[in-house]
Structures are given as structure tokens and as C-alpha cells.
Amino acid sequence: MGRAYSLSIRDWDDAKGDNVKHYKIRKLDNGGYYITTRAQFDTLQKLVKHYTEHADGLCYRLTTVCPTVKPQTQGLAKDAWEIPRESLRLELKLGQGCFGEVWMGSLLDFLKEGDGKFLKLPLLVDMAAQTDRALGRERLTGAVKR
């Protein structure tokens, strides 16, 4: 099987914030390369040179090589696994187990105050989907009491 290539460009928009767009580089039967059929190139170098000079359908013209970032190897030991108990509003104890207690909280308060108001849209959409799935399961089991 042949190699697959993609061109990744850092982008910004108000809805997604900082993000990366990926463009698939396809191979022609005659050995050339293209992202869109209207611009075909004999080599990958010519393709990159073209998109350095013209955006030609990409979100931006190519300007600089993305830096290679070394992966974090410190592990999880330095993460803040605990937050001060005083920073939480404990409303109703729902249960407890081997790993701690479960308390009812307010997602809305979290999103309006403190760190929650700085979350980006993709994470908020993911949180909403998880909440919706959980509420759907609770409705099916009759666990939601209003």
C-alpha cells in the first residue's frame, strides 16, 4: 500500500478558537499529487511551493513550517488531582464508594463562574452531549425525580 499525505494548517475562528485544518493530498495514477483536481503537481515539493505562493482553496497560504513539539513525558504526578473542598458547594450527598463521595453540584454555576467560563465551544458541546446521554439513561430507569 502506498503512502498517504496530508497538509495541516493552523487556523483560528471565533466559534472553534485555535484549531488545525487537514487537507488530504491525493496521488494521481501518473504519479503526480493534488489536493484539488484543478491544481495538480509532479512532486510534493511543487505542491508545497504552489500553496506557499497561493492559498488557492486552502484556509491560508502556507507561511512557516509547524514546529515539532516534544511530547510531555513528566507523567500525571504533577497534575492537580485535588481541589480545595472549600471551593465546592456541597448540596446533597448522593452516595459514596471505595474512591470517595459523590455530591450533587451545579454545572450551570461552574460554567458561569470561575474556570468554567473560559471553556472553548468544542468542549462545551462534548459536555452537553455527555449530560444529555446521562439524563436519557436516568429517564429510562426512572431515576430522575423532579
- The whole-number pLDDT of residue 62 equals 93
Domain boundaries, the chain: 5-53, 87-141
The x, y and z cell numbers of residue 16, run together, are 472553534
Spatial neighbors of 33 by CB under 8 A, at least 6 apart, are 5, 25, 26, 27, 40, 41, 42, 43, 44, 47
Q: What is the pLDDT of residue 74?
A: 65
Q: Convert the pLDDT of each residue in 40-63 to its tens digit.
A: 999 999 999 999 999 998 999 999
Identify the band that residue 15 occupies on the pLDDT scale cut at 50, 70 and 90: confident
Q: What pLDDT, in 10s, does the model give residues 122-135?
A: 888 888 888 888 77
Per-residue pLDDT, 141: 63
Q: Say yes or no to pLDDT of 116 above 60.
A: yes
pTM to 2 decimal places: 0.46
Q: What is the pLDDT of residue 124?
A: 85
Classify domain 5-53 by CATH architecture: 2-Layer Sandwich (3.30)
* Sheet with 40-41, edge to edge strand ranges: 5-13, 17-27, 33-34, 40-41
pLDDT digits (tens, 9 = 90+) for 80-108: 556 667 777 788 899 998 888 888 887 77
